[in-house]
Structure 1
């Protein structure tokens, strides 16, 4: 059911063009340093066009591809590969596309409204259904033309698009704030974790004195990795985490972790247990992801061999060491020390030999506090972004289906 004045239409009935281009003769060898932008699937993101690495063709090649001219306000849909379903609106006056991007042009549909519909649950569901059978490689034009969409009067489409664009702008602004905060933290880490910038001590004076060099084994109580054994998996029991459960955000994620029995857990941990405050560092496969075991551990768990457990000695700040481990310099060091097998790994013996420069315990704590506060600021922005994205998703659901009507000026 749609509101009065709306209709359900096949996309082919309300468009003038549904089609894509071709790869220019000569492929990437025909690309130029400047000229007419050739939009490829990597340029079409979720709701926006990214021309940071756009290819260019010359005027002669462009004119040979007249059937795939792109104009401002054309809707562009990725139709092949892993990026199927990504949609953006062209904001440039003249361009071309290759065979992986479909141009959708309509006089009856507002471009931003159409983009929003194709990105909505209803739009993406139709795209996915076209992939459910044997045609998993791409969408064809007839499938695209068959998409059903609700069509309100043009002024209402424009108003819906304007409302949703307000959320898009807020989302883009928050994404930029997150990226800026991440870059600022990286710069701060580079300064603070190397001693190039010194903070103030409790008396308000800058910390002084040389940092001292230690092997990692000299500043830890133990370094060991998870179980090397094969253990039967169960529907419930004790979670057994691997490197994939240590996130880029320096947290421990229990999602999708397999379970082992209590008996196996007790055998693995007959001589040690994982404690709150221990540092977890990925040392096989994905190298250098790091997290602290939370102070309030909700449940006991064990680890596979891809994760090392590091317990710091007295006088060493675990938060400082975690921040140091999460730096790009330390990750590069791990990669240099890793073996050259198909799955990169760092032996525990090599890990213990790694040399680290350390300031006084008080300065370690100060540095850790500053960097932890930067992390919290990023986490807050990421939560705000998730909230905005969820709000927009809910808004799309009611506006694009006419469940909530907008007031047209």
Structure 2
């Protein structure tokens, strides 16, 4: 059932007659410097933000696939891999082409269709879960036959305008997060190298000289282990997949008592760093006691180094670069023998504390923005559910 005044139409029937839904180039070939831009799934995953990395094909091949050329405001949808990703073609990509793994949808009322195809309603009809694809490919026949509940044109436009307002707020917040993240990186570079000195409690700038030390002299690897077969305490277990990349967030845990292998034990406030593929920058400082994979280092600091300062230091390019001098080619692991010999300079404990406090404040500001982003995305999702089904009617 559809609301009064609405009707069901197939996606194909809503497209322009001279531009049916289609996919693109099967074999793009090598990059052609002065060729025609060719969009692929990776470009959609980047929200078409990195146009410099777009592949280019020869003009001859582009002509062979002129049926799949794209125009400004065309809708693109991923057909394989991470299926159901949606994007609108920007002006700067007018007259480009697409890969076989993308579908092109051209419709006059593209704004409404864009939001509908993004919705869980459409994804459920494609058999796609809200977190990603549950199948490996989206067939064009299925795409063309998708039934879309279509309100009158004025109502379509009003719904699209409302949802676009949320999109703009989401984009603005994403830019704020990116800017804040870059600012924090710059601040880390200045504070953790001594290029910028903060004020002490008496409002005077720190002046004491930083001391040169060997990393392994101020930080050790904790040797405390946890055997789930012998332990009588149930603790949360952090695996590598529970560490969010380059954010310091812990995004899940397992129950250690349900596992069989030996784990590393950590205390509240311990600094953790994933040694497997260290370039992924997986680090954390949990506010709880627990255990973790043996692929995660648990640091134990000496009296010369604060945990909260170390937490920010392991995020630096200097530390990660040293950790990447690893053993193993397919599954590289950071080598403690290399890291422990790293020469660093550290300030006194009071300045360490001040630096850590400033950087932690920056982290909290980013976390707040990320929460605002999650709230906006959830609000838009709820709006889509009621507006795109007619459960809530807009006033035109």
TM-score normalised by structure 2 residue count = 0.86
Q: Give the match for residue 325 of structure 1.
A: 314
Query: Is 2:222–2:300's contact at 8 Å kept on the other side of the alignment?
Result: no
For 1:37 and 1:190, locate their aligned partners in 2 and report how far apart those are by CA, in whole Å: 37
Equivalent residue for 1:275, pick from 253, 264, 267 = 267
Query: Is 1:225–1:306's contact at 8 Å kept on the other side of the alignment?
Result: no
The 3 A distance-change label for structure 1 pair 39 and 245 is closer
1:219-247 CA-partner distances (Å, limit 9, x unpaired)? 24x42257597x5699x943332333333
Query: Is 2:312–2:356's contact at 8 Å kept on the other side of the alignment?
Result: yes
| Greater shift in the superposed pair: 285-294 or 176-185 | 285-294
Q: Give the match for residue 290 of structure 2.
A: 301
Q: Give the match for residue 289 of structure 1.
A: 282
For 2:100 and 2:331, locate their aligned partners in 1 and report how far apart those are by CA, in whole Å: 36
For 1:348 and 1:68, locate their aligned partners in 2 and report how far apart those are by CA, in whole Å: 53
The 3 A distance-change label for structure 1 pair 268 and 111 is closer
The 3 A distance-change label for structure 1 pair 103 and 293 is closer
TM-score normalised by structure 1 residue count = 0.84
Q: C-alpha displacement at 1:57, in angstroms?
A: 4.4
Q: Give the match for residue 212 of structure 1.
A: 211
The 3 A distance-change label for structure 1 pair 125 and 226 is farther
Q: Give the match for residue 140 of structure 1.
A: 139
The reply to whether residue 98 of structure 1 matches residue 99 of structure 2 is: yes
Q: C-alpha displacement at 1:209, in angstroms?
A: 3.5
Q: Give the match for residue 169 of structure 2.
A: 170
1:363-385 CA-partner distances (Å, limit 9, x unpaired)? 11111111111111110110010
Secondary structure of 2:222's counterpart equals: strand
The 3 A distance-change label for structure 1 pair 103 and 322 is same
Query: How many residues of Structure 1 are paired with residues of Structure 2 in the alignment?
Result: 384
For 1:19 and 1:290, locate their aligned partners in 2 and report how far apart those are by CA, in whole Å: 44
For 2:329 and 2:33, locate their aligned partners in 1 and report how far apart those are by CA, in whole Å: 39
Query: Is 2:323–2:335's contact at 8 Å kept on the other side of the alignment?
Result: no
Equivalent residue for 1:371, pick from 331, 355, 359 = 359
Runs (5+) with no aligned partner, structure 1:
none
1:42-96 CA-partner distances (Å, limit 9, x unpaired)? 223487676342234465544333212222222211112x232111122334222
Q: C-alpha displacement at 1:198, in angstroms?
A: 1.4
CA RMSD across the alignment: 3.1
For 1:172 and 1:20, locate their aligned partners in 2 and report how far apart those are by CA, in whole Å: 28
Runs (5+) with no aligned partner, structure 2:
none
For 1:285 and 1:348, locate their aligned partners in 2 and report how far apart those are by CA, in whole Å: 14
Q: Give the match for residue 382 of structure 1.
A: 370
For 2:235 and 2:323, locate their aligned partners in 1 and report how far apart those are by CA, in whole Å: 30
Query: Is 2:71–2:95's contact at 8 Å kept on the other side of the alignment?
Result: yes
Query: Is 1:156–1:406's contact at 8 Å kept on the other side of the alignment?
Result: yes
Q: Give the match for residue 28 of structure 1.
A: 30
